Every structure is written in structure tokens, then in C-alpha cells.
Amino acid sequence: MTNRRRVAITGLGVVSPVGIGQEAFWQGLLSPQQSGDTRAADFDPKTCYSDSKAIRRADRFEQFAICATQEALAQSGALDADPDRIGVLVGTGVGGTLTHEEQAVVIERKGGRRVSPFAVPMMMANAASGAISIAHGFRGPCETVSTACATGTHAIGQAARWIHWDLCDAVISGGAEAGISGVAVNGFKNMKALSPTGLSRPFDEGRDGFILSEGAGILVLEEWERAKARGATILGEVLGSASLADAHHITAPAPDGLGAIRCMRRALEDAGLTPNEIGHVNAHGTSTPLNDAAEAMGIAEVFGVPGPIVTSIKGVTGHSLGAAGALEAAAVVLSMQHGLIPPTDGLETFDPALPKIDVVQKEPRAWTPMPALSNSFGFGGHNGTLVIGPR
């Protein structure tokens, strides 16, 4: 579309295992990972809920989304838009799985009459989007994306299209996940996706799987001219995006990085950019043998070697499934603000079998902000890429 509207990013909100709030999150990205629990241990829903009953009636993933939204909206300021034209598009990979697992135990031990009447609204994947809409009176489109680990990226890309296409003037978008449940942990463990060492080591020759984590990333997106007119601080711009399928395998990526290649090229085309105009790639970088190999081959094919500066923040954050892409989009914006790209923590020896892409190791890398890609690739063959530009 030649005359589509520009999309400004005017607010960020973050809940993560390495920090609650964007400033703590940024400092966490610059610090070495800690093995062990990857829950958002410092999270307290009381900081953003005034009603204790509302906390008890919201699954943890919804609580994350509500609190991250509060931070993002506080930074963005009052949205100068008709509530009918403010949308909400917040995704999740597994929704209220903690509630589902808890209530399954209740029905087994105490019988069906003891199942909570709030179980269904707590479990449903659209609970976070609905709760944000209700809390703030946003009456535009209110939807949920669920595409496994590509969810957060797909949600932001689609939200930007709502603004591009003049369906909305502002959209609250991102992803939220609280999926560290017994079923999920053991399911991932038994399929050998989790690291038995408890360490995330993206692109390392000894990488052996990811660490399951949780969190939420929320972005406030606005039509560019409207954001400028109201005096909002513009943090960055969503320049384009892509969403494509591998059509190959339910868990394994397409061979030779073909899915990643197609998705990155389509996103560049959507943004109207060439590969040499990209300065940074925030990689999906899960620390699994197949994903990192496919992504490295894809980056090398699209950009050549060494190509743009690459990092994976999953070395410190772990893998938060449906929230990962949104947290990584937030990390890209923060990297632009600070003029630094965080290191790929856990990467000690770059795998010599991979193309020699320029992955940041050990220390953060100074850079002059320019357009960047953020990649997400999910089970089911879902590929997503965002193109984000500096303000």
C-alpha cells in the first residue's frame, strides 16, 4: 500500500524474569544470566490492581499484561483518539494454562462442584486483551493472536497494519505468557527442547535447549502525525512486518533456514528497505540446535557475512513463548534509545559449523541506531519478522 499511515511507538511496558519495568529490564539485559528459576519473581500485581478480588480472578498471564499496559500507557500519555478507534491486540501462546492445571487438580480431588466459576474467563486466551479493553474503555478492535513463539511479533505486526490501513488511530499490542506449569515443563523436557544444564546458550557450540520463562511486553502504537500533534515522545517506528508459514513440520524449522529467509525478505519488502539498510537483527535465538542453525543460515543468506549486528536476549531472559517477540521488540527500541546492543549471554564459543554472522558476545556493542529486524519463529511453522526504525 503506497499511501499507508506511519506507525509510531510511544510507550513500552515490560514484565520479565530479569526486571519489572523497562529500566530494570534494560539493566537485566546487560547483566549475566542466573541459572535456576526463570519466573518474574519480583512481580507484584498489587502495584497495578486496586481491587484484590480482581487479582484473584485473573490468571497470571493476564496480570502481566495489565501491569505492562499500565506502564506503557503511563509513558505514552493520554491518547488523543476516539475510544472507538483505539484497538487492543495482545497475544499469548498458551493463555491461562496455570489456571487450567490448577482447576484440573481441583476437579480430580474435590469434584466438579468445586471448580471455580471464574475458571473459564481466566483460562481463555483472549482474557488479557479483553481485560485491557475493559479497564481503559478502548472500544476499537479487540483481538488475540496465538501462534506459539511467534505470537508477540505477529501481534505487533498486525496491530501496526490496523493503523497503516486506517482501521485504528492507536493500538495496545504485544504478548503475555505465564506458562511455567508442570505439564509444559515436563512436555518440553520430554521432547528434549529444554536445556538439561539449565543454561541458555544461543549460537554456542554446546547449546542444548532453551529455558522456559514468563513475562509480558506491551507497546503503544499510534498513527505518527497524531502522536506528533499531541506532543508524545516517539520512541521508534514500526516500518514493516511479515508473517509466513514454513508448511514443513510441527516443531522443526524448514531446512537451510528457508522459512527465516522468506520471512525476513518479505518484511524488508513491506518496509521498503534493502538488506544493507539494516543495522541490527534481534534473533529468535532459542539456544536449540535446529533453530539457531536455521536462523544463522537465514541471516547469512539475506545479509551476507558478517552482516548486521546480531544478538539474542534469550541468554538472559529465557524463552517466554508468546511473550518473547514482544519483549524482544521492546529490547530493540531500548537498544536504539541507549545506543547499545546487549550481548548474547551464555555464548562462550560460537558454533564453528554456523555461518560467521556478527553475534555480540561478552560485552554490549555500541552502535548508531538504524532500522533493525526482530525475528520470531514458532512451533507450527509460524515465522514472524518486525522491522523497527529509530525515532
The CATH number covering residue 361 comes to 3.40.47.10
Whether the bond into 306 is cis, omega within 30 of 0: yes
pLDDT of residue 34: 64
Q: Is 48 a catalytic residue?
A: no
Domain boundary among 236, 261, 285: 236
Residue 359 to residues 21, 115, 290, 303, 329, Cα–Cα distance (Å): 26, 49, 17, 13, 18
- Report the helix count and the strand count for the chain, using DSSP H and E: 13, 14
260: containing domain: 239-385
CB atoms within 10 A of CB 112: 7
Q: What are the pLDDT tens digits along the chain (391 aa)?
A: 458 999 999 999 999 999 999 999 999 999 987 666 689 999 999 999 999 999 999 999 999 999 999 999 999 999 989 999 999 999 999 999 999 999 999 999 999 999 999 999 999 999 999 999 999 999 999 999 999 999 999 999 999 999 999 999 999 999 999 999 999 999 999 999 999 999 999 999 999 999 999 999 999 999 999 999 999 999 999 999 999 999 999 999 998 999 999 999 999 999 999 999 999 999 999 999 999 999 999 999 999 999 999 999 999 999 999 999 999 999 999 999 999 999 999 999 999 999 999 999 999 999 999 999 999 999 999 999 999 999 8
Q: Answer yes or no: is 2 within a domain.
A: no
Q: Is 67 a catalytic residue?
A: no
Q: How many domains, the chain?
A: 2
Task: State the catalytic residue, choosing from 154, 164, 280, 319.
Answer: 319
Give me the residues paired with residue 91 across strands: 175
Q: Answer yes or no: is 314 within a domain.
A: yes
pLDDT of residue 1: 44
Based on the fold, state whether residues 41 and 182 are members of the same structural domain.
yes
Question: What kind and span of H or E run contains 282?
Answer: strand 280-282
Based on the fold, state whether residues 243 and 225 are members of the same structural domain.
no
Domain boundary among 197, 217, 236: 236
Give me the residues paired with residue 218 across strands: 13, 174
pLDDT of residue 3: 82
Task: State the catalytic residue, choosing from 164, 280, 284, 382.
Answer: 284
Q: Is 168 a catalytic residue?
A: no
Based on the fold, state whether residues 243 and 158 are members of the same structural domain.
no
Residue 229 burial (10 A CB sphere; 0-12, 13-18, 19+): exposed
Task: State the catalytic residue, choosing from 48, 149, 168, 263.
Answer: 149
